[in-house]
Structure 1
């Protein structure tokens, strides 16, 4: 019998509530498919930061590195200045473990309404693969008041080390700047991953950029995409500017199968993807290092105003748990969880307020467990 240890960061706001339901469903799957799960809880988040000033410690990162998949609830609290928790916890985990792939399934499940008129589940079923460690999210930038200034900026990654020495002179009151970085190595590996996923599906891959305006950085992305595509002659490829693809997501989502994009644009279009699949409460995501430690989470925030009310939708978190099991090799269990989610939605057994129901967070988790058992008995 296989046994898995999974570290859990319940986090803030509704995070602990939705994680409880995710764990419940995964434990039920483990019982049905005869493997063991044990949980390792990490007290990381806003509450600890407010009390102690600690974000995530080096010893905690080393401990997390022993495992293949981390289960995250949500991080964020209005009592903490925006950006502190995101940079000090989420981005630090992504960069430390080189989770260079952000994987977002955009799939309209049966029983869910999309805001797009006349679109059905067969029309909305694609993957967005976002480069997760480069672009304008590398954290290099600053502000400079009028006059002269020298800035020494450094970026260290497993792939490379970069130093920028800037001599700045200007007569504006104050300027702000941000530097985006895309490396050939960083772009190639995520694009190769996208081609491999497209080979498993409909062999259709779209690349998203803004090369018509930001031609240096995103023209470079296109060049790398073109080089990699030569190794996959069976895959049909296309290019979209980010503003155009937001239009086509709404008008013709059926065109898309696998999409690969630099970091910033992936952040934008996956939120739109969440809406066309029915809302943030249904949207899971994975921060993936195929050969290291990955992290799976709902893409929604911590929603602190709903904390403790037992009304939040846990489906995105439960779906993220399914993605964990798929990563661990328990593919049948992972599929059964997703099938049970869809059956619950299509039969409207237990739905939270965002889906037009009045069920509690706990009732949704319980219903999905029952559905799993029914599916396995058929």
Structure 2
């Protein structure tokens, strides 16, 4: 009997070793195909950002991902320890890719500057297109199923231009900047994205019925660009109606293109439809670089050090990074592990109705890397 047990045990170990060898061989071949290792700028961010970034690093290490991180602590609420913005910008320009946690923005600037650190980073790198792919995840029960929407937001002008002043005591004027050049650019990005990813429809979100010149210009640019893509259906929708339609029938949306402020609102609303800020990844694009960060920008400061934050969004940022740098097999391995953990439902963080910790979820993903 003991001999039979030893024989069966040996057979099981050999099978596991063979499977592990096959996986490592496939990943090694991909690594060799991609030649040298890739260096990625890493900004842990504020709040639970460092904890989520640590989870990503542990998963990458366990999967033998050929990516090295060049880490910079960048923070507006902790300026004494923060790296210089120009050093971080230089690193991203050199590496072309970045993983970024969320940066907290104080209500009042320490130096009286109206532009936040986030805005300065986007402006210096010209990260004009923020892309958030909101989709239903396996095993995460929500009111609506099979959501698959991409929200493309122009994020270098609009209400986030930091141009405001108090003309007389008690009266503040805020300038919203809309230009034809940047509106055309984001519209073309949206239609190019739809074409490349076999999407059928682009919806322009606006408030041109009230802001007839500013949003009117944005809408006009979207309409002009749409004529160059006859195979892509184009529709326009007022932003307040958009929010109602999203909570009542989100499946009608495919690709959405928005000005700055509306995009921030729609991103967060859409994230809530599929499970919350902890499960949605995003990316910001310039013509030269990409910054991957969670799609709903919340620092979750009240959870710092409690080991309760959901690392799914940050791990999904990692899978997007791997696809972007042409390491699809690694991306698929990590993505499949995340899906398996979510689908099994045994390890869930508090935001998804469970009691598991950040570390528990990370370990579960690592255990399913095959």
- TM-score by length of structure 2 reads 0.84
Equivalence for 2:188: 192
| Mapped partners of 1:305, 1:246: distance in 2 | 28
Residue 293 to residue 311, structure 1, CA distance change in 2 (3 Å): same
Higher strand share: 1
Greater shift, 332-341 or 318-327, is seen at 332-341
Residue 348 to residue 98, structure 1, CA distance change in 2 (3 Å): same
Equivalence for 2:289: 293
Query: Does residue 1:131 correspond to 2:154, yes or no?
Result: yes
| Mapped partners of 1:367, 1:239: distance in 2 | 43
Q: Tell me which of 97, 106, 125 is aligned to 2:134.
A: 106
Q: Secondary structure at the match of 2:210?
A: coil
| Mapped partners of 2:133, 2:299: distance in 1 | 21
Give the CA deviation at 1:229: 0.9
Preserved CA contact (<8 Å) 1:12 1:73: yes
**Gapped regions of structure 2 (runs ≥ 5):** 1-31
The aligned length equals 332
Equivalence for 1:326: 323
| Mapped partners of 1:191, 1:340: distance in 2 | 35
How do 1:82-161 residues align onto structure 2 when only pairs under 5 Å count?
Answer: 82=108, 87-114=115-142, 116=143, 119-120=144-145, 122=146, 124-145=147-168
Residue 300 to residue 364, structure 1, CA distance change in 2 (3 Å): farther
How do 1:207-222 residues align onto structure 2 when only pairs under 5 Å count?
Answer: 207-222=204-219
Q: Secondary structure at the match of 1:369?
A: helix
Query: Does residue 1:364 correspond to 2:361, yes or no?
Result: yes
Query: Does residue 1:63 correspond to 2:63, yes or no?
Result: no
Q: Secondary structure at the match of 1:233?
A: coil
Q: Tell me which of 239, 247, 251 is aligned to 1:250.
A: 247
| Mapped partners of 1:66, 1:112: distance in 2 | 38
Give the CA deviation at 1:237: 0.9
Give the CA deviation at 1:46: 4.8
Give the CA deviation at 1:318: 0.8
Give the CA deviation at 1:350: 1.6
Q: Residues 237-282 of structure 1, C-alpha deviation per residue, up to 9 Å, x if partnerless?
A: 1111000010110111110111111111001111100100111111
Preserved CA contact (<8 Å) 1:55 1:89: no
Q: Secondary structure at the match of 2:165?
A: strand
Residue 332 to residue 190, structure 1, CA distance change in 2 (3 Å): farther
| Mapped partners of 2:346, 2:114: distance in 1 | 35
Greater shift, 12-21 or 323-332, is seen at 323-332
Give the CA deviation at 1:10: 1.0
Give the CA deviation at 1:63: 2.8
Q: Secondary structure at the match of 1:74?
A: coil
Q: Residues 78-110 of structure 1, C-alpha deviation per residue, up to 9 Å, x if partnerless?
A: xx5456699442111111110000011111111
Equivalence for 1:152: none
Equivalence for 1:161: none
| Mapped partners of 1:337, 1:187: distance in 2 | 36
- TM-score by length of structure 1 reads 0.83
Q: Residues 12-40 of structure 1, C-alpha deviation per residue, up to 9 Å, x if partnerless?
A: 221110111112223344x2xxx511111
Preserved CA contact (<8 Å) 2:347 2:361: yes
Q: Residues 153-192 of structure 1, C-alpha deviation per residue, up to 9 Å, x if partnerless?
A: xxxxxxxxxxxxxxxxxxxx53111111122221112111
Q: Tell me which of 319, 335, 340 is aligned to 2:337.
A: 340
| Mapped partners of 1:183, 1:46: distance in 2 | 29
Give the CA deviation at 1:341: 1.8
Preserved CA contact (<8 Å) 2:76 2:117: no
Q: Secondary structure at the match of 2:204?
A: strand
Equivalence for 1:223: 220
Larger C-alpha radius of gyration, 1 or 2?
Answer: 2
Q: Which has the higher contact order (CA 8 A, sep 6+)?
A: 1
| Mapped partners of 1:235, 1:323: distance in 2 | 25
Equivalence for 2:18: none
**Gapped regions of structure 1 (runs ≥ 5):** 146-172, 374-378
- The CA RMSD over aligned residues, in Å, is 2.0
Preserved CA contact (<8 Å) 2:55 2:362: yes
Query: Does residue 1:6 correspond to 2:49, yes or no?
Result: no
| Mapped partners of 1:272, 1:47: distance in 2 | 26
Q: Secondary structure at the match of 1:239?
A: strand
Q: Tell me which of 74, 80, 91 is aligned to 1:44.
A: 74
